[in-house]
Amino acid sequence: MAYEVTATRRRPQKFEDLIGQEFVAATLKNSIQSGKIAHAYLFSGPRGCGKTSTARIFAKALNCEKGPTPSPCGECSACKEITKGSSLDVIEIDGASNTSVNDVRQIKDEVQFPPNSSRYKIYIIDEVHMLSNSAFNALLKTIEEPPEYIIFIFATTELQKVPATIKSRCQQFNFRLVPIEKIKEQLALAAAEINIQADDEALYWIAKESTGSMRDAYTLFDQVAAFSESHITYEKIRDKLGLVGTDRLNALFEECAGANPSGAEDKLNEFLQAGISIEQLITNSADYLRSLLLIKNGIAKESLLGQDSARFSKAVLDSWTNVQIERALSIFLNLYRDIRYSLSPRYEIDLAFSRLCWLKEYVSPAEVKVAVDQARSLLATSPGGTPQDFSDGAEIGLGGAPKEFHPEPMTEMPTDPDLIKDALISSFSLEDEALASLLKNTDEWTFDGQKICANISDAFQKSRIEGRVQTLRTRMSQMWGKDLLFEVQEQAPVVEEKKEVKIPDEVNLLVKVFKGEIVGGKV
C-alpha cells in the first residue's frame, strides 16, 4: 500500500474528530439538527487548524444518504465521494489560483444547474481572501440570494482581507489554535498507529514547535519519525536537527552566570564548530531564557516549558534575578532582528554572550529609582536625626528652603570670617544648594562684630546674593541669636601682569637648529 502522510491519514472524518474546535463542531451539529442551514459560511483561523476538514465534514453531513445528519455514516456513496474529493456536487476551489472575475462568472453560471445526485451543491473556496475585488463584487448577489440547493463555504487565514460586504452575507466561525496538550495526545496516537515508540519530552517538543497547528505537528512528526527509526527521543531530535538542547544550554549559561567570559566563549565556539547555526542557537537561547523566567515566576507547567522544570540549571536560576533574566531575553530578541543587517552574525552573538557574563551588574531603571529615593530620604534628614519638612515645595538642589529650620545649639558665634562663611555654606548645602553655591564663589569675608562683608567679582552673582540677604540674616539670627547685617561688594578681577620670561640658551639653540618657534608653555 502506498505511503500516506500522517496529516492525510488522520484527517478528521466527523465532527467528533475535530481537535480544539469544539464550539464550531457543536454549532454546526445543532444547526443541522434544527434544520437552520445557512446559504454561506466563512471559516477563518490560522493554518492547519481544521477549516477545510470541517467544510468537508459539513458537506458530508448535508449530503449523506441518511441526512442531513450531524453524524454522517461515511459508508454511502456520497460520503465516500466527498472523502476522496471526487464528488460532482462538492466543488473545492483554490482561491489563490482562481482569482479573476471570469472564474467567479463560471460559478455564477454553474449554480443555475441543480446537483447531480446529492441533496446540495456545495462550493468550498479555500483562501478566499486571494480573490480580486472584481471577483468579490461578482459574488455578492450570488451568495446573498442563491438557489435553495446551493451552499458556499469560504475558508481564509486572513480574515481582515475579506470585504465587509462578503462577511455580512456569511455566518462566521473563528477557528482557534490547538492547545499543546491536545496536539501531544494526537501525536501519541499517531505514533501508536505506526508502531513507533515516542518519549513524552520529544512529543512535547514537536507540539510546541507546531505553534498550535495540527497539520504542522503531523508534518514535523513525519520528519522526526523518518530518522528516529522505531523510537523517537528528544536526544535524537536535538542531534539530527542541530538543536542545542537544555543540557548544553545549562553549561553555556552557567559560564555566563559565573561571569566567566572565556569559558562562555569556549562553549559557544564548540557549539558553532559542531554545525549548529547561529540563528538556531539564538532561537534556542531565547526559548531557554523564557523558560527560566517562567520558573522564576513560579510556573512549572510542562506544556509551557516543553520539558520538566528540573532539567534547568539551578545555578543559573539562583544567580540571576527576574529583572536580569528579562534583560537577557530582550538581548536575544533584539539580536535575532539585528543579525539580518549585521556585518558579522558571529560578532553579534559573541557580544551578546559577553554581555550576559556581566549581567549581574545590570541595574534596572526601577532599581535606580528605589536607590535614589532611599538616598533622598537620607539626605532629607537633619544632623540631629529629625526628618526635615519639605511640605512647602522645597526640593533638594532646586533652590527652595525648608518650612522650618532647627539648627544645633551653638555656644557662641565664631569671630573668624572664614568660619562664619563655612558655617553658612554648610547650613544651606542641603535645602538651598543654589545659595550655598553663590556663597562659595565669594571671597575675602570681613566681620566687625555687627556687619559681615563679602566680595565677589561677578556682578550677576552679586545681584543674586543681594536678593537673598534677608534669608542670610534670618539664618544667622537662628544660628547665633544675633541680628547681623550682611553686605556684598563687587570686586574687580585681579589681572596678573605678564612677566618677561628669559628663554634659556639651550632652548634658543634647539629652535635655531630645528628651525622652529616657541608657541607656549612654561619654563
Do the beta carbons of residue 39 and residue 146 sit within 8 Å?
A: yes
- Which residues have CB under 8 Å from 218's CB, separation 6+? 5, 6, 7, 10, 187, 190
Strands 443-447 and 451-456: antiparallel
| Residue 121 bridge partners (DSSP) | 150
| Residue 447 bridge partners (DSSP) | 452
Strands 121-126 and 90-94: parallel
Closest residue by Cα to residue 241 from 207, 284, 200: 284
Hey, what amino acid is at 501? V
Angstrom distance (rounded) from CA 128 to CA 126: 5
| Residue 171 bridge partners (DSSP) | 41
Angstrom distance (rounded) from CA 140 to CA 107: 12
Query: What proportions of the chain, in percent to the nearest 5, are helix, strand and coil?
Result: 55, 10, 35
Q: Which three cell numbers, joined as nine digits, stand for 311?
A: 532539567
- Which residues have CB under 8 Å from 369's CB, separation 6+? none
Per-residue pLDDT of the chain (523 residues; tens, 9 = 90+): 577 889 888 999 999 989 989 999 999 999 999 989 999 999 999 999 999 999 999 999 999 988 789 998 888 888 999 988 888 889 998 888 877 888 888 888 888 888 888 899 999 999 999 888 888 888 888 888 888 899 999 999 999 999 999 999 999 999 999 988 899 999 999 999 989 999 888 888 888 888 889 999 999 999 999 888 889 988 888 777 777 778 889 999 999 999 899 999 999 998 888 888 899 899 989 999 999 999 998 888 877 776 778 889 899 999 998 889 999 999 999 999 888 888 899 999 999 999 999 888 887 787 777 777 777 766 655 444 444 444 444 444 444 444 455 555 555 788 888 888 888 888 888 778 888 888 888 888 888 888 899 998 888 888 888 888 888 888 888 888 888 888 988 876 655 555 666 777 767 767 776 677 776 655 4
pLDDT for 351 = 92
C-alpha Rg value of the chain to the nearest Å? 41
Total-model pTM = 0.63
